[in-house]
Amino acid sequence: MSRKPTLAYVAPFAVYVGLLALGRATPIAPPIVHTARLLIVLGVILVWSRPFLSVRPASALASAALGIAVFLIWIGPDLLFHYRHSGLFENSLTGSAVTGLTPALEHDRFFLTIRMLTTAGLVPVVEELFWRGWLMRWLIDSRDFQKVPLGTYSRVAFWVVAVLFASEHGPYWEVGLLAGITYNWWLVRTKSLADCILAHAVTNAALGIYVISAGAYQYWL
């Protein structure tokens, strides 16, 4: 199998995660770090991923509605039950639901704009390419994942991706799991990565608007 399709799906995620780790270790000002990460990963997508990336959802309204539903799932437990700071969710493995943003960054319009563009525009593309565009299919056929049609259901692939997707969300792992299950189900139902990207983008955009308007920056770890 050619490496180019694999790079198209995996490289944006790998570069994003690598730059995220590097950014946390650098003394460079966060607005510069976030802007550089946005531009670099966007460049990777345009160079490697664009030929494999569909931006035409088949069920746009339903995908947007699903995105809003996942947003409500994300914030609902904290608003209703206030259990986030228990040991099951905040521990040495998951970290704490506390933002790393300084008060100055919380009021920096340029930084918040870059963060919103990354959250709502870049991350959904990067994550959907990797988790549901590549890994769900690779787990079914690691020799040639492209032979596996998008949305093919495999119990192992479905749940492994859902659990791994949850694990990257730290102290929000349980709502991350529900989100992962929902997005996986939507791919199986629609057979469209563009619909998953749209749903994910709406979720992240709604969450970003909520974070800024309510000052709930703990959701931006």
134, pLDDT greater than 90: yes
Q: Coil, strand or helix: which one is 107?
A: coil
Which residues have C-beta within 8 Å of that of residue 60, sequence separation ≥ 6? 195, 198
2, pLDDT greater than 50: no
Place of tokens 């000002």: 29
Mind giving me the DSSP string for 184-217? HHHHHHH--HHHHHHHHHHHHHHHHHHHHHHT-G
pLDDT of amino acid 68: 98
193, pLDDT greater than 90: yes
Q: Coil, strand or helix: which one is 53?
A: coil
What pTM was estimated for this model as a whole? 0.95
pLDDT digits (tens, 9 = 90+) for 160-187: 999 999 999 999 999 999 999 999 999 9
pLDDT digits (tens, 9 = 90+) for 97-126: 999 899 999 999 999 999 999 999 999 999
**Backbone angles phi and psi of 95, in degrees to 5:** 85, -165
Other CB atoms within 10 A of residue 122 CB: 21
User: HEC states along 62-97?
Assistant: HHHHHHHHHHHHHHHHHHHCCCCCCCCCCECCCECC
Q: Which residue type is seen at 114?
A: I
pLDDT of amino acid 152: 98
90, pLDDT greater than 50: yes
**What is the average pLDDT score of the chain?**
95
> What percent of the chain shows pLDDT beyond 70?
99
Whole-angstrom distance, CA of residue 11 vs CA of residue 130: 8
pLDDT digits (tens, 9 = 90+) for 29-79: 999 999 999 999 999 999 999 999 988 999 999 999 999 999 999 999 999
**Local confidence band at 4 (pLDDT 50, 70, 90 cut-offs):** confident
Which residues have C-beta within 8 Å of that of residue 207, sequence separation ≥ 6? 71, 74, 75, 119, 219
**Local confidence band at 3 (pLDDT 50, 70, 90 cut-offs):** low
